Structure 1
Amino acid sequence: MSNSLTRWSTPPKKVIAIHRVYPELDCGCFAIQRVLGESIQVEADIFAHGHDRLFCRLLWRHEKESLWHSTSMEDIGNDRWRGTFLVEQLGKYWYTIEAWVDRWGSWLAGTQRRLPTDPDWAIVWEWGAWELAQFLERAQPEDRRQLEELREILLSEKISQEEKISRAQDPILHKITLRYPDPVCITRYCRELPVQVDPKRALFSTWYELFPRSASRVPGQHGTLRDCEARLEYVARLGFDVLYLPPIHPIGRTARRGKNNQPTAAPEDPGSPWAIGDETGGHTAIHPQLGTLDDFRQLVRRARQLGIEIAMDLAFHCSPDHPYVRQHPEWFVRLPSGQIRYAENPPKKYPDIYPFNFEGEGWQSLWEELKRVVLFWVEQGVRTFRVDNPHTKPFAFWEWLLSEVKQLHPDVIFLSEAFTRPKVMYQLAKLGFSQSYTYFTWRNTKEELTCYFEELFHTDVAEFFRPNLWPNTPDILHEYLQKGGPPAFAIRLILAATLSASYGIYGPAFEVCEREPREPGSEEYRNSEKYEIRHWDWDTPTPIRDLIARINRIRREHPALQQNRLFRFHWTDNPAILAYSKWTADGKDRILVVVNLNPFHVQSGFVEVPIESWGLPASGYLVEDILAGIPYHWEGNRGFVILDPSKTQAHILWVRGP
């Protein structure tokens, strides 16, 4: 035992335990994610032996700062402490916790437990004076003067006990003592924890996917970037603030896919945009029929004028005709025969695509080149990227690339398109992806939706995973949409737009409620736009276009829908009716959404309203269906709804109050 004490040259000062810090991801290995202007609430168990009072403070700094900011933490009971700070710069922050014995506070607590007639009262004043003397050694001149004055009062025999107690309890003097703890008595948490701060659009954004080659108003004519620019005002009128373009690069000829993914292409078939590269260029080139780099820059400029960000697709693989194949054969995997291995996802085969070998002999030059590709498009004005299949590339690559790009351009965000195992999806988010695709497309029942979004919003997942909900994509046409018709499209739109702060649609196909699969049981579209140029009628009204615009306007007007943290599900007595609410921290905006999940039949039932927590009188309150523009007067903690999917698929209720 005696040998173990040799690590201390003097008796150890009181050591304070700091445990169960929250939020903290994997022992601080990964950053929690926030957006600009958000507050971060940090909690921890903090305690020490004995009865001394503690002072705890939360420390934080931006990565470009050397000095720490601090704020005191509040004891919320049972040795649990809480503090909050605001993130006001993009980039990375660090935070930690310090604690020490509040010696003056502990002394004050002891004096308050004594009676004025205590026979040992003189010893109390001597002890208080001694405590003040310790602070005097470290205090600045102005603070020292006030501490010395109090010390003289405590030692004076001419001043009454009551006066001494009153002066000693001055909160200003208590704050002064907290400025000068003994440095050797401060306990700091063993880790500095990271926070990645992204632009606000990383949390709240509304995406519209459009194939540029299908943007022409002339049937059968290949669209251009200028045609896309002509569509911008239309996209803005619908209320979208991100226009996502599938790859706009040259498309290879070798093994080109035909219509409906046929293995043989006709001469006029344009091929898949994801088969990137031909003799005219690769990942930094633009398909000649789409236009020029100047056209693209103009598209980005005009979009930004309308409040729209252009999202580029990052698909890190090649067609067999890509210049990389000839210039850098070491970047690809070769079979024993010497041939380059093409992409497979059994039973699917993609002979028109060569995956990169991220772990081969040429990995360093490959990684640097792909970083150059991203930075090239950043230089053209792109600040939003949708990343194709990131789960098929090494974690280490994404951790490096995202960090490198965000160090230079902290306003850039990345959307992870990874439909894979949950832990893999979560790992990618921890590595720095700003948003993520989800399983929302395959969650259609009340139980499925409730369980899934409880996990996303009410567990540790909420600290790093920002869901972006898509009812459809060019790859996914779910059976619910195939069979449910326009009511099903409306229901999934409302769910996507109100459950999460970010959502998107594969635009024209969703607007016209396109729902014919390639064959029975398939989630692929028939006549998929991935393999052919489509012509969309931009002028004829569709069953859902006006609803899309109304939903997006409601999202812009109601801050409650622009976040995911303040969210809860509500009881209903009908398994086909889903109810949930979102609200702002100040309680000024409260939205209650009630959705009929059955696209075929009328559903009715009662919905719970939390009148106590919302401060509503049981005698009556106003709720307004802002989707239909109809007010209702409800009473008590339940409201009754009738939802006919052919007319009213949902209520989006703004809870107004009495």
Structure 2
Amino acid sequence: MTGRIPIEDVTPSVSCGRYAARAVVGELVPVSARSYREGHAAMGCQVAWRGPDGVQRPVVRMRPGPDFDDRWHGSIRPDAVGEWSFTVQAFDDPYLTWRDAVTKKVDAGQGAAELANDLVEGAELLETAAVDVPAQARDRVRAAAVALLDGQRDLPERVAPALGLADLLWDHPVRALLTSAPLLTLWVDRPRALFSAWYEFFPRSEGAVLAEGGQPARPGTFRTALDRLPGVAAMGFDVLYLPPIHPIGRVNRKGRNNTLVAEPDDVGSPWAIGAAEGGHDTIHPDLGTAQDFQRFVAAAREVGLEVAMDLALQAAPDHPWVGEHPEWFTTRADGSIAYAENPPKKYQDIYPVNFDNDPAGIRAEVLRVVLHWVGQGVKVFRVDNPHTKPFDFWHWLIWEVKRHDPDVLFLAEAFTRPAVMHGLGKIGFTQSYTYFTWRTGPAELRDYCTELVAAADYMRPNFWPNTPDILPEHLQHGGPPMFKIRAVLASLLSPSWGIYAGYELFEHVPRPGAEEYLDNEKFELRPRDWAAAEAQGRSLAPFIARLNEIRRANPALHWLRNLRFHDIDNPAMLCWSKRDAETGNTVLVVCSVDPGEVQWGNTVLDMPALGFDWHERFTVHDELTGARYGWGQHNTVRLDPHLQPAHVFTVHRHATDPDQAAGSSAGTPGTDIPAGPEGTRWTS
């Protein structure tokens, strides 16, 4: 700190400024600090900030908090990708000091003679202030200075113009004793870094033909997978994540359901990367050529999908790295190379990279591989198990890649200890998998999301109900209602969410005794008849499409920091809202987590969080059913998991027609009367 006024605890600051805080273009970033001074003189705080172009942005005046804790608050909205810098500055505000003193003296009945010095000092102060106010306001400020010195006027007339400058001189204050806190860094990504909808599928399963009548199985290709792109785009997803597309090792290849012995037709795990055909910079020949991949990426882009690739830094035993750089791996006492283990699990088809052997060589090779795919148009990478590799390596790699192309994004697939997951976010990972998959009850969801919002300066969550490796117990047994419930929770609590293919078909058969799919697609082809399922009403695709449509249409759902929870008296229900400060767009969600029984609940809404005073009423429009209700702070809600497990409301200040308030039953303010299966209404 340079200057006289103390400034403490500036946020956003990650690890005391060691790492850059994180935001996206257009995000309203809160800035706060604790600052105070001696005596009773007034002071102010402001945010001074610069863009990646080095140009100073207009300073933002901060306001004191309501709790007399000397904490000041403001916000900035960056408008470009890159590295921004900011600092909090504190200053003596002589106008506020003068105004406060004069107001008190006049209210106490003191006259012009007693205020003679104040009037002269005020005039001098306003002459100084006139220099920094906008040109169109200078005459007003100077006229107020003249009025203070005009002894022909009554005292109230002399001081009124000067006292009326409060708003103008709040925005353009006279600043003395200017003190600056240390400079902090804010890295700003493109909006997709925070708001995105992911879909994962295996290209080799799309258009695949299974073995039959002695005929060998035939995997799908990038060309056959093109047919799936319109279906994914129609569900409203914008990121298409592909598991590794590289050659798969033949040595120690795993068979179906992770068996140790592979049959001749077994395709192996895509994460066992590398074979005679090549390694991480090569496409599996069964999927097609480099040109086929480029056509696939271009076709995806045409329907609004950005292709994300898997970055798994490991090797099959027959990966070229093993022969060319055996020092990149760990040699056991018997001379063999150590395969991956997560006891009691063994992965004999995978060799982990040892980053302590030739770190410079490994860094150079991995950077080359990543930039190769960036050159092919890939700007999003889902990183496999980053918590098993050195943190300093990731910190170096991510920012080296961003130096070449700041639009590249990295998703951390790290289901590990909380501190480790947070650490990966701090060092540069754009998004992170989370524990959402295992948070099922409303209380634990509320607590967990509150924790994630508190880490919004550096960690952006991505909520996945399922993955190829994870079929949680509640999806195994909850039936279609649970699939709907988890989709609502994932897509509307978090600005980023994703599903693995088959979720929309309610796939739920586990391998006995495990949270994994039977006949896991990691080890075999799983072609699906998407069109038939949707035609027969066995698909969740229309519901998912509607959720993603609601997400796109409502700016409030694009952010993480604005998540607010509301009280509801049923422990099987969760109520939350998001409000966009700029547009006023507000979404209010009530969701049941019970897939079997009808649930009733009574809300106690935090009205200011919705943009209302405590006594006001408003209209809610259910974006899933089209129904409208008149609501207030207290409302009764009924949710039937087999008809509608959640309300997704947009909130409106005034009803536009008398029928919009029909959702309130007589004698029960804000009662929710859901639509019946035939379009009728249930009666209370």
Give TM-score, length-normalised by structure 2. Answer: 0.85
Identity of aligned residues (%): 44
Counterpart AA for 1:468: N
The correspondence for 2:531, drawn from 535, 539, 563, is: 539
Deviation sequence 1:61-105 (CA, Å, 0-9, x none)? 124316464222233453332222210110121111112222344
- 8 Å CA contact 1:246–1:313 kept in 2: the answer is yes
In the aligned structure 2, how far is the partner of 1:299 from the partner of 1:51?
Answer: 67
SS at match of 1:98: strand
1:652–1:354 Cα change, 3 Å: same
Q: Which residue of the partner structure matches residue 46 of structure 1? A: 35
Quote how far apart the aligned CAs of 1:38 are: 1.1
Q: Which residue of the partner structure matches residue 73 of structure 2? A: 82
The correspondence for 1:321, drawn from 318, 330, 338, is: 318
SS at match of 2:48: strand
Quote how far apart the aligned CAs of 1:517 are: 1.6
Q: Which residue of the partner structure matches residue 376 of structure 2? A: 380
Counterpart AA for 1:517: P
1:636–1:500 Cα change, 3 Å: closer
In the aligned structure 1, how far is the partner of 2:35 from the partner of 2:306?
Answer: 45
Matched, 1:294 2:291: yes
SS at match of 2:84: strand
- 8 Å CA contact 1:469–1:503 kept in 2: the answer is yes
CA RMSD of aligned residues (A): 3.3
Deviation sequence 1:428-450 (CA, Å, 0-9, x none)? 01111111111111111222222
Counterpart AA for 1:272: S
- 8 Å CA contact 2:30–2:74 kept in 1: the answer is yes
The correspondence for 2:25, drawn from 33, 36, 40, is: 36
1:352-501 matches, within 5 Å, as 352-360=349-357, 362-457=358-453, 459=454, 461-501=455-495
Q: Which residue of the partner structure matches residue 21 of structure 1? A: 10
Q: Which residue of the partner structure matches residue 180 of structure 2? A: 188
Q: Which residue of the partner structure matches residue 247 of structure 2? A: 250
Matched, 1:275 2:272: yes
In the aligned structure 1, how far is the partner of 2:604 from the partner of 2:99?
Answer: 49
Q: Which residue of the partner structure matches residue 663 of structure 2? A: none
Segment drifting more, 605-614 vs 237-246: 605-614
Q: Which residue of the partner structure matches residue 307 of structure 2? A: 310
In the aligned structure 2, how far is the partner of 1:545 from the partner of 1:136?
Answer: 62
Segment drifting more, 322-331 vs 155-164: 155-164
Deviation sequence 1:143-201 (CA, Å, 0-9, x none)? 9999999989978988986776467657499859967756xx32111x21221211111
SS at match of 1:186: strand
Q: Which residue of the partner structure matches residue 651 of structure 2? A: 655
In the aligned structure 1, how far is the partner of 2:377 from the partner of 2:287?
Answer: 18
SS at match of 1:344: strand
Q: Which residue of the partner structure matches residue 216 of structure 1? A: 207
- 8 Å CA contact 1:102–1:178 kept in 2: the answer is no
SS at match of 1:336: coil
Q: Which residue of the partner structure matches residue 517 of structure 2? A: 525
In the aligned structure 2, how far is the partner of 1:250 from the partner of 1:159?
Answer: 90
Quote how far apart the aligned CAs of 1:641 are: 0.6
Could you list the runs of 5+ residues in structure 1 that have no partner in the other structure? Answer: 1-12
Quote how far apart the aligned CAs of 1:475 are: 0.4
In the aligned structure 2, how far is the partner of 1:480 from the partner of 1:139?
Answer: 62
Q: Which residue of the partner structure matches residue 667 of structure 2? A: none
Matched, 1:335 2:332: yes
In the aligned structure 2, how far is the partner of 1:298 from the partner of 1:525?
Answer: 31
In the aligned structure 1, how far is the partner of 2:131 from the partner of 2:238?
Answer: 59
1:497–1:124 Cα change, 3 Å: closer
1:336–1:558 Cα change, 3 Å: same
Counterpart AA for 2:456: A
Deviation sequence 1:503-551 (CA, Å, 0-9, x none)? 11111x21222222222x2012111110111111121122422222222
In the aligned structure 1, how far is the partner of 2:366 from the partner of 2:487?
Answer: 35
Counterpart AA for 2:590: V
In the aligned structure 1, how far is the partner of 2:586 from the partner of 2:124?
Answer: 55
- 8 Å CA contact 1:135–1:181 kept in 2: the answer is no
Could you list the runs of 5+ residues in structure 2 that have no partner in the other structure? Answer: 211-216, 656-684
Counterpart AA for 2:381: F
- 8 Å CA contact 2:29–2:77 kept in 1: the answer is yes
Quote how far apart the aligned CAs of 1:374 are: 1.1
SS at match of 2:420: helix
The correspondence for 2:258, drawn from 246, 261, 285, is: 261
1:332–1:233 Cα change, 3 Å: same
In the aligned structure 1, how far is the partner of 2:130 from the partner of 2:511?
Answer: 82
Give TM-score, length-normalised by structure 1. Answer: 0.88
1:606–1:271 Cα change, 3 Å: same
In the aligned structure 2, how far is the partner of 1:642 from the partner of 1:119?
Answer: 72
Deviation sequence 1:247-289 (CA, Å, 0-9, x none)? 0000111111111101111122111000111111111100001
The correspondence for 2:602, drawn from 601, 606, 614, is: 606
Segment drifting more, 209-218 vs 608-617: 608-617
- 8 Å CA contact 2:639–2:645 kept in 1: the answer is no
In the aligned structure 2, how far is the partner of 1:142 from the partner of 1:547?
Answer: 55
1:150–1:209 Cα change, 3 Å: closer
Counterpart AA for 1:641: R
- 8 Å CA contact 2:256–2:520 kept in 1: the answer is yes
Deviation sequence 1:550-584 (CA, Å, 0-9, x none)? 22222222223222222223333322222222232
Counterpart AA for 1:495: L
In the aligned structure 2, how far is the partner of 1:136 from the partner of 1:605?
Answer: 58
1:141–1:293 Cα change, 3 Å: closer
Quote how far apart the aligned CAs of 1:365 are: 1.5
- 8 Å CA contact 1:146–1:173 kept in 2: the answer is no
The correspondence for 2:508, drawn from 489, 494, 515, is: 515
Segment drifting more, 42-51 vs 418-427: 42-51
SS at match of 2:16: helix
In the aligned structure 1, how far is the partner of 2:22 from the partner of 2:522?
Answer: 33
- 8 Å CA contact 2:149–2:158 kept in 1: the answer is no
